Amino acid sequence: MTNIKVTINWLDLLKVIAVFMVIVAHANDCIILNQDGNFNFEWGTYIGSLYRFAVPLFVLISGVLLLPTKLNLLEFYKKRLWRILPALLFWGMAYVLFDGIILNPKTWDKIFMDIVRLPLSFGDASPHLWYLYMLVGLYLIIPLISPWVAKATKRELEMVLGIFIFSTFIPYLKFLTGLAFGVCDWNEFHSFYYLSGFIGYLLMGYYLYTYLPGWSIKAKRWTGMFLFLTGYGITYYLTISVPFSIPNIEMVWYYCSPNVLLEAVGIFMLLEGITIKEGFFLKMINAIAHYSFGIFLVHYFFIGPVFRYMAVHFGLHPGLNVLVSATLTLMIAFVITWLLARLKLTRKLVS
């Protein structure tokens, strides 16, 4: 199973969409977070409600590619964690130095402390690296749940996924009532905690990959479109409806919310099994997908400066600037990643 998965072109297309939408998200930060006076809530909301599926889509893809693993626990940890941890520490330090020396000059003591804290958490200079910390947690759990996944029936998977789907409503329940199945000052874990979060997306990816091929193409495409548009509509409506504050916006845009789940599953179903003809487009998709990890890691160096440059020198509409800046950043990050992958010293830090 593992040998053929890496050649599945529609999965590569999903990777490209996911990494591009991550870049769009960070371009949109320039207008939704009012960076450099570019605040535009209307367009920030249109775009912000659109890209939330990006990270869940990455995790759905991981569920396809990694569940169930045939490697034992130590083999899996050695293979997967060794890929993530050096990249996390290296790029974390690179962003701290870039920010502390060039963007926002700091004392060497402050820079040193920012580096020392990296094993515990990402810093302000590299917020996107939160994803790697989350990925470490998924990699720790994958070999533990794989034996069950390998033997689970469709009905058993659906029961567990049902609990996961229910858990996505809990943040809204807590917002409305202040209550959340046993959560209190001395207990942050609600009743469904251990079947919630990104582990649900992992299992969902495996489930969809295993059982969607039995659906007709028409059923998959129409269902996928309905789910995505519904998720987007709910996300947009809630974003403009809640009292404006960053915590409230983040709650609506929460990756493990029911509305974002609808978006992610919808995109997956829209493209699952799609055939891409041989040619330049397919080669481009395969190439970007191959370097998607590196592109994700390095893009944050460029997206802010590119967005601001385009805004100042070309006066682009904020919505158009997000698209143009994200595209340019994708191209720059691809070239940088391709070059770094050619060097023996940095190859494992981007691939």
Which residues, 6+ apart, have CB-to-CB distance to 154 below 8 Å? 207, 210, 211
pLDDT confidence tier of residue 6, bands split at 50, 70 and 90 = very low
Give the separation between CA 242 and CA 244, rounded to whole angstroms. 6
pLDDT value of residue 38: 57
Domain count of the fold of the chain = 1
Per DSSP, helices labelled H in 117-216 are: 130-151, 154-167, 170-177, 198-211
Considering the entire predicted model, what is its pTM?
Answer: 0.91
Single out the residue of 60, 56, 129, 61 nearest to residue 92, CA to CA.
Answer: 129
Which residues, 6+ apart, have CB-to-CB distance to 303 below 8 Å? 23, 26, 27, 325, 326, 329
Tell me, what DSSP letter sits at residue 244? S
Question: For residues 337 and 350, is the Cβ–Cβ distance under 8 A?
Answer: yes
Range of the domain at 333: 2-349
Q: Which of 40-44, 105-109, 217-221, 294-298 has the lowest mean pLDDT?
A: 40-44
* Stronger pLDDT, 148 or 37, i.e. the higher one: 148
Is the confidence at residue 254, as pLDDT, over 50? yes
Single out the residue of 75, 202, 185 nearest to residue 134, CA to CA.
Answer: 202
pLDDT digits (tens, 9 = 90+) for 159-188: 999 999 999 999 888 888 888 898 888 888
